[in-house]
Amino acid sequence: MNSLARRLVREARIDLWAATIGVLVNTVLGSNVVPRPIRWLGYRAFGTKIDTPNIFPGAKLLGPMRHISIAAGTFANRELYLEAVAPIAIGRDCQLGPQVMIVTSHHDRTADGVSKVPRARPVTIGDRAWIGARAMILPGVTVGDDVVIGAGSVVTRDCLEPGVYVGSPARKVGP
């Protein structure tokens, strides 16, 4: 199969997912009318490894559901966005503020500026991490245990040492 045919098949699969399972996962389960325990059971039924019912409404889960792992005790506020082309692992007892975005796909570009097919790069968030409102965690990043990411920060590289990281790109500013 040539590259154009592979790309068309891939696009068709994405569209089919969005029109079927994506509607159930993101529209129905992410709704304000679905209680958290039902949302949690629904996400698990679709293949996520979510061990906490504390996922609030408005969450958008994209990509293979098996790539999403959230440990017990973690709290995800409204409108969490998980783009799980590659695995996303979130540890125990984390706090994710409203509209936190975690992205796992990266598009390399050719010398003439053309974007290539996305490359998957996993994201790992350690135990007891706090991620502030509207923070963005980019592909391939590891956020260590006991790390705080300030609201609105853009995490472009690993933040392994416990402490407070803020800015774009996020840098350590405190213990």
Summarize pLDDT for 41-98 with one digit per residue, the tens: 999 998 999 999 999 999 999 988 999 999 999 999 999 999 999 999 999 999 999 9
95 strand-pairing partners? 75, 130
CATH number for position 65? 2.160.10.10
Instruction: Give the range of the structural domain holding residue 41, as residue numbers without chain letter.
Output: 3-174
What the block records as the tokens of 105 is 């796909």
* Catalytic (active site) residue 107: yes
Task: Give the active site residue among 6, 7, 13, 107.
Answer: 107
More confident residue, 17 or 38: 38
Q: Residue 93: left (phi > 0), alpha (psi -120 to 50), or beta? A: left
* The predicted structure's pLDDT at residue 168: 96
How many domains does the structure of the chain reveal? 1
Residues in the chain: 175
More confident residue, 71 or 17: 71
What pTM does this model have?
0.87
For the residues 10-24, what does the mean pLDDT come to?
A: 68
